[in-house]
Amino acid sequence: MPKLFSTFLRLLLIGGLIYATLGIGFYAGWKIEATACREARLAQGEWVEPEVFSPAISLAFTMVYWPVYLIANLYHFDTPFSTPCSHAP
């Protein structure tokens, strides 16, 4: 029984590390897209809303909820990294 438990914990740890790594990757990709959009909107003279959360809190939220963000963005905007530029009229 202890071997089964340790195998389960090892698989859980590996799965968690993969999930967190994908979350960090999603955060980095989204941040690049958001920064490019922000700079483009500023160059056009548009008002750009300030960032609400600190980067650490934003990273934590994204690492936990990245599958939800990904599915919602793909469903609504056909892009994994939705920004105001990706769905502007």
Domain definitions of the chain by residue range: 2-77
Say which amino acid occupies 24: I
* Per-residue model confidence (pLDDT) at position 1: 67
Q: How far apart are CA 41 and CA 51, in angstroms?
A: 14
Q: How far apart are CA 6 and CA 12, in angstroms?
A: 10
pTM for the model: 0.84
Encode pLDDT of 45-88 as tens digits: 999 988 888 989 999 999 999 999 999 999 998 999 998 888 76
Q: How far apart are CA 20 and CA 22, in angstroms?
A: 5
